[in-house]
């Protein structure tokens, strides 16, 4: 569970620990996503401090219950009110002592000093005392200053999710839980308008970046060691983008030609949209619909970077009167809003932000959008239903219910022997994803 290749950099110190504690507080007390909380908390930090704060924040969320037990056992009473932030600072300290390649004295001293950044200077003794006690009772560290964490019965997942996975996936659950707690690989999507995949692999090799091609997703490359996008040849010119290999399969399964009128629904941040535009010079502008105005801007930024064009609409996909011009689509990609339980290894905050009650609400929303979009699909047209969920209620059950309700819908097998495709986390080194393709009668 250690952060790979993480060492205490010369510029890293108390500020990075304080930022990590602040981000964790915002996620776990305020319900903010880590992708929002972390940039806000680290805005004034150096690049090296940002990396350390990120590594700590993601790491704590991966093993949160275990760390909570370790820290809670050393406190006479829970920290509440204005002192609550110190609980998250103690989690930061505990994570460093157990899981990071940081010397004990550096981890403790920097975390204690971080109390001052959090305006809790008078509580330094508390932080120091708890961390010193943890150290005294912790198992011996290995040569990388890492320790074996105590085991958690639910493998550091909420109980409801473990039970749901057991219901849906049976004996595969243990593997799913283990994969969810791993550090994800970095996948690239090569823009075939600019380079073949083999050509780009040679460019990476020339830069000393080791990578391998995916045997199924034709534009996908996996880096053996993640790196900054600034080191990737041609990244800022749109030659390559970061996108998981499972998500890249959408461009294959949509079965699209340049002559088709295409809709990408719930399109942000635009990876699948861009992939389609990289592959095809469409006769008609591709339409993209996204509800979140901020995420629409992400789509536009990505289109600009790659000098590609699509018509983006900020609208509720289910309210077709707000954005549809009445001309039927030949192909629709519905990347439905979902629990995102297939991408927990990239976003460990999902484990703690998602609630069991969310699943039925999401399934209802998915069905509403699917039914609305079906009316915009041309006779003989195809709709690809996709989620980054691994829960049946959002995937197989959703599609089966739709087929029962719509006599003009048939299921086109995704592969020769698979009507629908559920990719589990870690399969082919990819994220968890689901695909089903529906055809409308002529």
Three-point CA angle 324, 286, 430, nearest 5°: 115
CB 236 within 8 A of CB 305: yes
Strand order in the sheet with 240-242: 211-213, 220-223, 186-190, 240-242
What 3 state SS string does 106-158 have? HHHHHHHHHHHHCCCHHHHHHHHHHHHHHHHHCCCCCCCCCCCCCCCCCCCCC
Residue 411 backbone dihedrals phi, psi, to 5 degrees: -95, 125
Q: Are 382 and 414 in contact (CB under 8 A)?
A: no
Cβ-contact 263, 376 below 8 angstroms? yes
How far is C-alpha 169 from the chain's CA centre? 21
> What do you get for the CA distance between the two ends of the chain, in Å?
53
Positions marked active-site? 388
Nearest residue to 166 via CA among 337, 81, 158: 158
CB atoms < 10 A from the CB of 421, how many? 18
φ and ψ at residue 419, rounded to 5 degrees: -70, -45
Taking a C-beta distance cutoff of 8 angstroms, is the pair 147, 138 a contact? yes
- What b/e readout covers 351-387, taking b as 16+ CB neighbours within 10 angstroms? bbbbeeeebeebbebbbebbebbbebbbeebbbbbbb
Q: What angle do CA 109, 69, 157 make, to 5 degrees?
A: 115
Residue 101 dihedral angles phi and psi, to the nearest 5°? -85, 60
Distance CA 90, CA 127 (A): 7
Burial label for 335, CB within 10 Å (0-12, 13-18, 19+), is buried
List Cα–Cα distances, 315 to 28, 312, 332, 367, in angstroms.
30, 9, 16, 17
Element counts in the chain: helices (H) and strands (E): 17, 12
């Amino acid at each position: 569970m250690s952060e790979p290749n993480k060492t205490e950099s010369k510029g890293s110190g108390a500020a990075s620990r304080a930022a990590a504690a602040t981000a964790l507080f915002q996620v776990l007390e305020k319900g903010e996503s880590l992708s929002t909380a972390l940039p806000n908390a680290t805005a004034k930090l150096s690049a090296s401090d940002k990396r350390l704060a990120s590594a700590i924040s993601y790491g704590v969320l991966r093993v949160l219950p275990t760390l909570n037990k370790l820290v809670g056992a050393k406190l006479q009473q829970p920290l509440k009110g204005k002192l609550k932030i110190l609980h998250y600072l103690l989690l930061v300290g505990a994570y460093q002592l157990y899981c990071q390649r940081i010397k004990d004295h550096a981890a403790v001293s920097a975390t204690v000093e971080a109390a001052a950044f959090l305006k809790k200077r008078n509580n330094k003794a508390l932080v120091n005392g708890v961390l010193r006690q943890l150290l005294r009772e912790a198992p011996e560290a290995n040569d990388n200053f890492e320790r074996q964490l105590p085991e958690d019965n639910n493998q550091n997942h909420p109980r409801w999710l473990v039970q749901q996975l057991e219901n849906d996936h049976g004996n595969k659950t243990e593997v799913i839980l283990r994969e969810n707690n791993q550090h994800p690989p970095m996948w690239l999507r090569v823009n075939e308008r600019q380079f073949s995949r083999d050509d780009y692999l040679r460019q990476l090799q020339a830069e000393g970046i080791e990578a391998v091609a995916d045997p199924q997703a034709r534009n996908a490359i996996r880096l053996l060691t993640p790196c900054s996008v600034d080191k990737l040849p041609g990244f800022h010119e749109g030659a390559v983008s970061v996108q998981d290999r499972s998500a890249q399969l959408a461009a294959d399964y949509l079965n699209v030609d340049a002559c088709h009128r295409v809709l990408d629904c719930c399109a942000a941040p635009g990876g699948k949209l861009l992939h389609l535009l990289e592959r095809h010079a469409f006769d008609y502008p591709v339409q993209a619909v996204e509800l979140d105005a901020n995420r629409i801007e992400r789509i536009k930024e990505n289109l600009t970077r790659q000098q590609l064009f699509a018509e983006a609409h900020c609208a509720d996909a289910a309210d077709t009167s707000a954005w549809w011009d009445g001309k039927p689509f030949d192909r629709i990609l519905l990347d439905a809003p979902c629990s995102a339980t297939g991408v927990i290894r990239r976003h460990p905050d999902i484990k703690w932000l998602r609630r069991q009650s969310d699943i039925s609400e999401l399934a209802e929303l998915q069905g509403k959008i699917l039914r609305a979009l079906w009316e915009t699909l041309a006779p003989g047209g195809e709709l690809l239903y996709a989620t980054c969920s691994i829960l049946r209620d959002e995937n197989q059950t959703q599609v089966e219910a739709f087929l029962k309700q719509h006599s003009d819908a048939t299921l086109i097998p995704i592969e020769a022997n698979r009507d629908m495709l559920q990719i589990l986390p870690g399969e082919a080194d990819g994220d968890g994803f689901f695909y089903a393709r529906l055809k409308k009668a002529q």
